[in-house]
Structure 1
Amino acid sequence: MNQLPIMQVLPQLKIILNKSRAAILIAEPGAGKTTGTPPAFLDEPWMQGKTILMLEPRRLAARSAATYMASCLGESVGQTVGYRMRMDTRVGKNTRIVVVTEGVLTRMLQTDPSLGDVGLVIFDEFHERSLHADLGLALTLEAQTVLREDLRILIMSATLDGERVSAMLGGAPVVDCPGRVYPVQTIYAPASGTLSIEKSTAASVHRALAEQKGDVLVFLPGEREIRRTQSELENGRLPANTVLRPLYGQLSQVMQDLAVAASVAGERKVVLATSIAETSLTIDGVLTVIDSGLRRTQVFSPRTGMPHLETVPVSKASADQRRGRAGRTAPGVCYRLWSQEEHHRLPDDNVPEIMEADLAQLALELALWGVRDPAALPWLDAPPAAPYAQGTALLRQLGALGATGAITPHGRSMAALGAHPRVAHMLLRAAELGATPLACRLAALLQERDLFRGPAAIDSDLTLRVEALLRFERSAGLDAGGADLATLRAVQRESRNYLAQLQAAPGEAPNDISLIGLLLSFAYPDRIGQKRGDGAFVLSSGRGAAMREGQPLMRCPYIVAASVDDKAAQGKIMLAAELKEAQLLKHHADSITDEAEVYWDKESKSVKARRRTMLGALVLKETTHERPSVEAAEEVLLTALASEGLALLPWDKNTLQLRQRMMLMHRVRADWPDVSDEALLESLNTWLRPYTHGMRAFRDLQRIPLSRVFEGMLDWKQRQTLDTEAPTHITVPSGSRIPVDYDNPAAPVLAVRLQEMFGQLDTPKVGGGMIPVVLHLLSPARRPMQVTTDLASFWRGIYFEVKKDLKGRYPKHYWPDDPLQAIPTNRTRPKN
């Protein structure tokens, strides 16, 4: 360890942490920061015999780091160096360095916010920006500020924006440490577009084994791709003495250790790994990396409130971390299964988990901490508002939060389990029914990949998976029943962990599979589905979802959807179980409401009333009852009218003209009522409601005396003014009373035969002389000949051209040379 580059900067770090409460260490791969840093601070005077906690994102890395540090001290794990992770703890009374995994630090803080026996908290590989790391740092910083000024914090990473983190920590010093990475040649080898990821990766493995020396580390997005690639390689011709080693989070500890251990002499090892091998691990013998360029991440959809797994391209930072695995012990080679042009388009960094994860568990932890608004804590990236609001809404539905947002006793019990709130609520409710063992099996099944592969996976019934698991257990692991053996073992292992945590014996109660749907409904009260035909269901959240064709569950009146693919407008139900109506009514009685509703029936276009028994958006029962009250009917009728529009009112020619005349007057005088569509729709309660008493349908609106309604908006003086300044008719020189068209209140129109205007010089005006009338001058056949708002100019100029045309077409009519001295007439020629 004395040769590690980290040793060069440890003296500087000691000086900083002797004076400051926080520091940031940016150490390149191979520097030895994970295993070299913690022991260096054990004897610092400010430690005073306290413990060092180091948060390590992954279980395998945590166990490996603790084991290596212990071996450097000549001890076994559990003496000076130990670790804590869920269901696996190795610490003793003399342990001074404890490597903890995500969630464990949070539990420790919630139990003892002051971390009284801790002197230093280290956040390793902080660039991964896991949700638990962000939460752990936020809580540790508050604990340091409020309770423990002497507590030190050290952030460590190979790739991190040190300045940004430093600003968050109040200007904490940043220390840079060079790594010890050997040169790595990068070969861009884009996969053929016609090949699957498994086939292209297998081909690259064969190429690397032929071209390079040493062991090979392959990065794939998930367990499924690892298994398929392993199958491809096993079915091909691998060189003699080549062994394949999978490496992913749910693999047994024995298998993980085999993947990480040095190869046996004479063998070459090919490790097929997820991102678990990206940081904090050195796999002895690896000189070649093959990177698929993909990773799997869980993305939360605020639109549906449902998380789903997505396979996405890695970031440049992750690609560089993976590439560096080939140069930890000697010069190496990295095959990237994408082009250099594609590499330039990759994002610089991965999106922090807090920005795209389900935040229900985060909200529960903050409520337990006593924080209702995340803004009260320091964050590098604050939790997004919409997902956080959905998380708190779910917690209220599960009974974890009260109406004010404070945590309830049930919420405290949920948080103590450390599981996702949905799972924790289900386990606690199951205990009330004596169904803890079945609930533990369900919890494990929900958090693992589907047991079934291929055609068997088409059936969405979760009960089949539980039956397969029970059959597997009864046969002592001999009967997999068509299910995937490795997944069965992982589910069995996880369910036993839950049983141990709940202190329930595996044989506590019979596994009554008729309770599966009920237990599932405790975890997913927002996904209780009600049949609406053709395999479609409406969920209690209000969202629609459908099953694949031919599913037996399609016939069930009620189901619970455990897994929903929300990529389409209507979700696709992937896993579900039947929920009996009797179970729903009995065990969700607290969430069932009876409501009387007055509503608008679009089909009959009338107001109706009904009484409904509801569970969320589900209508469990509906009955009609007495007619709605007059006030309620009026309210709904006016709301429907506001939605449908004013065209439903009984407009006649005179009422339309009256409204248009009033609109013209409002244009010239602001104190006149605004009778535009927008203004009328916004004020229906003011001007129309007095006339809708007792009405319940659109047809009733035809009885409204609409002209009287509009006249009622004017006082006596305004009515007199309206007749003089916005007259219905204008008398022209011929003596005719011509109606004014106010269809466009900004430009009213007077359509009059040209001969009737002889002798008038000026254009008529309305609106108190402020708005000229648009004259449509017509031929004797009432065809438009000229449009003008300047009659005087027309007589002086254009009239003489129009006169020639009219005289040719209407020779018997009177077409004088001087129209201003001529006699106006509404006949062929004037009488005199």
Structure 2
Amino acid sequence: MRAADFPIAPLLPELRASLAVHPRLVLEAPPGAGKTTQVPLALLDEAWLGGRKIVMLEPRRVAARAAAGFMAKQLGEAPGETVGYRIRFESRISARTRVEVVTEGILTRMLQDDPMLEGVGALLFDEFHERHLAGDLGLALALDVQSGLREDLRIVVMSATLDGERLARFLDAPRLTSAGRAYAVDIAHFPARRDEALVPQTRRAIEHAVAQHPGDVLVFLPGQREIAQVDAAIAGSDALRDIEVLALHGELPVEQQARVLAPGERRRIVLSTNVAESSVTLPGVRIVIDSGLAREPRYDPNSGFARLDIVSIAQASADQRAGRAGRVAEGWTYRLWQQSQRLEPQRRPEIAQVELASLALELAAWGSDALSFVDAPPAGALGAARDLLRRLGALDGDAITPLGRRMLALGTHPRLAAMLLAPTRDEDRALACDLAALIEARDPLRSRSDALAERWRALAAFRSGHDPGGSRAGFAALDAAAKQWRRRLKVDAQSPRSIDAHRLGDLLAHAYPDRIAHQHPTQPRRYQLANGRMATLFDDSALFGEPWLVASELRYEAKDALLLRAAPVDEAALRRDFPKRFVEEDTVRWDAARRALVAQRERRFDGIVLESKPAGRVDPAQAARALTDAVRDLGLDALPWSETLQQWRARVRALREWAPDEGFPDLSDAALLDTLDTWLRPAFEGKTRLDALDAAELSNALHETVDWNLRRRIDALAPTRIVVPSGMERRIDYEVDDHDGVRPPVLAVKLQELFGLADTPRIVEGRVPLTLHLLSPGGRPLQVTQDLKGFWERTYPEVRKEMKGRYPRHPWPDDPWSATATHRAKPRGT
């Protein structure tokens, strides 16, 4: 296919012209338009490139190989000459390479190792709509490089389905859109029968589509397991006997991938993961069968990793999948879900839903987290990730340690990296490689045992030629993964054939230092974790009786976590490997049941209390800290708030909204709880009981958080009382609701005290009207209003008529405007 034949070809001159004058560009083009293979080649001779490289990020390995191979073929070359690629464990580049297609981890390493990107003139981010975490990080790092070091660097973000307008605003970049070339696609829904599983439903849909329509069939399935199941299900179908069935996913050998991507001699059915959505082109496809499912990463708190879960695809993905049927001629798409089912419009970015330890380590290595992300990482998830990295020894404060840099170079999750780097003996290093493979992979055993050692022994049995008791293919994949880790770590030793009870746990503790657990002294099925939480064993646990465990999987519950998988660990190994975490010290804690402080001398391993006995006198500084922690747990309502202080705090909180330029502090519940150590702890100095703090001391502590000049402004702008026409001072009430919403200030006053006043009183230098609660002489509300003038004109005559007979001793003049205001009744006899 010639370059001129691609739909994107007419747009290429405009694309070149834009990049000649602007360093960033957003390009939207549907699948098949040619953006992946034509844009890099179109930029090779641009003057601004100056003979330097173009690096294109391709999220998937299949697509990276395919794109580089297609471009090389267009140039009459083999991959590795002008066009090459680099993916995990595979590289086809040379000194001649000008276009380098790389996967996400490779790009991050390039940027970290050489922020100047010497020899690189342009970075292209293909299929950005997939919103992988590594892609978002790569773009953020590239923008940082461009703004601070390389103003001449070009950045092009390309996608088939994304919010191009939003992205163009974020990048401050021009936006170009290419028309695709697609034929009409007829879309029908092919829902499951009652209680029908995905595999038989897919088989029915394939048989129906093949009988009804011509062309090859592309079937989108969640993952390799479902591909294998559907392949087995259709193998015995007479209707499909003469059709070639092929699989397509990222783990296939290169030769099999190439076979799928090349035209076939027979009619074909391709069973694919979402790799075929937009990244590769399959010739001859006119029928798409879409399960509507994909495996995508989600944070799994049980394991501490992001796991691939089966989820419903977004509408944008469904549209792309359907479009695959209309690439060569009119086509047909069958969707295996109910037509009434509504899909999310766009795929959620990974950064919002996965664990962020790897991202936090990359940011620490970069030396700054002040990067521009399309979607910022959630602060809570990032903070938790940094806490974990400190436990693993990868961070010292917020700075990366030498160990952290070694962990980063391994290109895996920091937990696994810490474990792989911990052992010094070769046999232990080989065993750590086995553990990394076991933790990363799906469980190949049918057993529900919670003993991790059972999985390792099954792997050892498989290696010895014995029956492992589970999926042989699964154990073969485990063995291959462990070998790959040994090659990467340059480990020559083989894994041992047998191990003692604690050996796995001693290694695993380096990956899960927060999940080291000690048996409860009186409840043998309960364990205290190093992170302070409690966990419980299964009733039939294979680990019952072990004094120390380390958990690789937990299920967090409201009370105790459930230990799903663990290994025993030797206390002597913990003392050898983590000596600084064993401490003996005097502590002061708040006893909620006794509502008092308790002083203890404790021996601990991290958050695990190994021994505790009463201590002597309570240290004042520790007491203040413990009482402050008690308020943090109990909430601000545990403090002795006076009505006056509550009103003062409400005034300050209201003024932040009414006078935002004055610089009033944030006294919301959240802000006060976040700063307890600053404003409350000093007030607890010398106290050993929570109720020893009185209302006056609390008031002083809170008032001292506000500058004296600001305190004067509070009184001037939001006074506590106001003089009304009767000559009396009346109170103004301030209130903030549970969601920090500011309510209008209230003045409750008897109606007779406002005679002669035409307009509603105001505060904050006339900006905020009071809400008047106009009261009867008996103190009952007659009207609530912020429009006093309107009340006198429209409502007062009716109120006068009704109230005059009920309160005859109080004035009810015909003309309230000229009447004298009073807070008294008329003298008797008048």
What range describes the TM-score normalised by the shorter chain of this pair?
0.7 to 0.9
Mapping 1:236-247, distance limit 5 Å: 239-247=240-248
The answer for the alignment partner of 1:401 in structure 2 is 395
Q: 1:430 aligns with which of 413, 423, 434?
A: 423
1:370 matched to which residue of 2?
Answer: 367
Deviation at 1:39, TM superposition (A): 1.4
Q: 1:622 to 1:395 in 2, by over 3 A?
A: same
CA distance change for structure 1 residues 574 and 218 in 2, over 3 Å: closer, same or farther? Answer: farther
1:501 aligns with 2:477: no
SS in 2 for 1:282: coil
Distance in structure 1 (CA, Å) of the matches to 2:526 and 2:53: 57
Which residue of structure 2 lines up, in the alignment, with residue 628 of structure 1?
Answer: 617
Could you say which residue in structure 1 is the equivalent of 2:411?
Answer: 418
Instruction: Choose the corresponding residue for 1:8, options 7, 10, 13.
Output: 10
Secondary structure of 1:60's counterpart equals: helix
Aligned runs of 1:188-207 on 2, under 5 Å? Answer: 188-207=189-208
AA in 2 matched with 1:197: L
**Cα distance, 1:238–1:458 mapped onto 2, change above 3 Å:** farther
Q: Where does 1:771-790 land on structure 2 (aligned, <5 Å)?
A: none
What is the CA–CA distance in structure 2 between the aligned matches of 1:111 and 1:528, rounded to whole Å? 35
Distance 1:461 1:637 in 2: 39
Q: Check the 8 A contact 1:230/1:244 in 2, yes or no.
A: yes
Identify if the C-alpha distance between structure 1 residues 459 and 160 changes in structure 2 by more than 3 Å, giving closer, same or farther.
same
What SS class does the counterpart of residue 89 from structure 1 fall into?
Answer: strand
Partner of 1:354: 351
* Alpha-carbon contact 2:62-2:249 (below 8 Å) kept: no
Q: Which residue of 2 aligns with 1:17?
A: 19
Relative to structure 1, is the Cα distance of residues 561 and 413 closer, same or farther in structure 2, using a 3 angstrom cutoff? Answer: same
Q: Call closer, same or farther: CA 1:284–1:473 in 2, change over 3 Å.
A: farther
Shift of 1:413: 1.1
Name the counterpart of 2:98.
Answer: 96
Task: Find the aligned partners of 2:391 and 2:684 in 1 and give their Cα distance.
Answer: 41
Maintained 8 Å contact 1:308/1:565: no
Residue type matched to 1:164 in 2?
Answer: R
Match of 2:329 in 1: 330
Between the aligned partners of 2:605 and 2:265, the Cα distance in structure 1 is 61
- CA separation of 1:540/1:298 partners in 2, compared to 1, >3 Å: closer, same or farther? farther
CA shift, 1:598, in A, is 3.3
Distance 2:619 2:384 in 1: 38
Structure 2 residue aligned with 1:383: 377
Distance in 2, Cα, partners of 1:687 & 1:539: 33
After superposition, the Cα gap between the structure-2 partners of 1:545 and 1:261, relative to the gap in structure 1 and judged at 3 Å, is: farther
Letter in 2 for 1:187: A
Q: How far apart, in 2, do the equivalents of 1:39 and 1:377 lie?
A: 30
Query: What are the equivalent positions in structure 2 for 1:265-304 lying under 5 Å apart?
Result: 265=266, 268-300=267-299
Determine the C-alpha separation between the residues in 1 that align with 2:253 and 2:505: 30
Report the equivalent of 1:119. 121
Separation (CA, whole Å) in 2 of partners of 1:687 and 1:355: 40
**Against the structure 1 CA distance between its residues 48 and 633, is the aligned structure 2 distance closer, same or farther, given a 3 Å change threshold?**
closer
Q: Give the equivalent residue in structure 1 for 2:552.
A: 562
Call closer, same or farther: CA 1:16–1:511 in 2, change over 3 Å. Answer: farther
Cα distance per residue 1:346-385 (max 9 Å; x no partner): 11101111111111111111111111xx3x2111111111
Q: Secondary structure at the match of 1:430?
A: coil
CA drift at 1:106: 0.5
State the partner residue of 2:69: 67
Cα 1:201/1:523, change in 2 over 3 Å = same
Counterpart-to-counterpart distance in 1, 2:469 and 2:681: 67
CA offsets per residue over residues 721-764 of structure 1, 9 Å max, x none? xxxxxxxxxxxxxxxxxxxxxxxxxxxxxxxxxxxxxxxxxxxx
Q: Tell me which amino acid in the other structure corresponds to 1:435.
A: D
- For 1:340, the aligned partner's letter is Q
Deviation per CA, 1:692-747: give whole Å up to 9, x if none.
Answer: 9xx9999xx9xxxx9xxxxxxxxxxxxxxxxxxxxxxxxxxxxxxxxxxxxxxxxx
Alpha-carbon shift at residue 506 of structure 1 (Å): 4.5
TM-score normalised by structure 1 residue count = 0.72
Amino acid at match of 2:47: P
Q: Would the alpha carbon gap of residues 322 and 539 (structure 1) be closer, same or farther in structure 2, given more than 3 Å must change? A: farther
The letter of the residue matching 2:356 is L
CA distance in 2, matches of 1:284, 1:21: 35
Partners of 2:395 and 2:683 lie apart in 1 by 45
* Residues 431 and 238 (structure 1), Cα distance of their counterparts in 2 relative to 1, 3 Å cut: farther
Q: Distance in 2 between matches of 1:636 and 1:51?
A: 58
Give SS of 2:588's match.
strand
Deviations 1:310-345 (A, max 9, x none): 332211101111112222223221111123321xx2
Counterpart position of 1:516: 504
1:663 and 1:143 mapped to 2: Cα distance? 55
User: What is residue 464 of structure 1 aligned with on the other side?
Assistant: 454
Inter-CA distance 412–606: structure 2 relative to 1 (3 Å threshold): closer
Q: How much has 1:536 moved relative to structure 2?
A: 4.4
Alpha-carbon distance between aligned partners in 2 of 1:509 and 1:304, rounded to the nearest angstrom: 26
Q: CA deviation at 1:205?
A: 2.1
Query: Which residue number corresponds to residue 111 of structure 2?
Result: 109
Contact kept? 1:438, 1:512, Cα under 8 Å: no
1:529 is aligned with what amino acid? A
Please give the alpha-carbon distance, in whole angstroms, between the structure 2 residues aligned to 1:194 and 1:408: 54
Residue matched to 1:487: 474
- State the alpha-carbon separation in 1 of the partners of residues 582 and 99 from structure 2: 52
Partner of 2:540: 550
Q: Does the 8 A contact of 1:441 with 1:495 survive in 2?
A: yes
Residue 98 of structure 2 aligns to which amino acid in structure 1?
R
The secondary structure found in structure 2 opposite 1:341 is coil
Unaligned runs of 5+ in 1: 649-658, 668-682, 707-771, 773-792, 797-832
Contact 2:590 2:630 in 1 (8 A): no
The one-letter code of the counterpart of 1:337 is L
Per-residue deviation, residues 436-485 of structure 1 (Å, max 9, x unmatched): 21112221222221122xxx23123222222233333344xxx4522323
Q: Deviations over 1:229-265 (max 9, x none)?
A: 3343346555212343333333444444444444343
Percent of residue pairs bearing the same amino acid type: 41
Residue in 2 aligned with 1:675?
none
Q: Aligned letter for 1:338?
A: W
Aligned residues: 663
Partner of 1:583: 573
Q: Which has the larger Rg?
A: 1
For 2:275, the aligned partner's letter is: I
Distance 1:99 1:474 in 2: 41
Amino acid at match of 1:195: E
1:135 partner amino acid: L
Deviations 1:80-126 (A, max 9, x none): 11111111111112111111001100101111111111111110001
Alpha-carbon distance, 1:593 to partner: 2.7
CA distance in 2, matches of 1:150, 1:615: 53
Whichever residue aligns with residue 377 of structure 1, its letter is L
> Quick one: distance in 2 between partners of 1:641 and 1:174?
55
2:519 alignment partner in structure 1: 531
Alpha-carbon shift at residue 583 of structure 1 (Å): 2.0
Q: CA RMSD in A?
A: 4.0
Match in the other structure for 1:38: 40
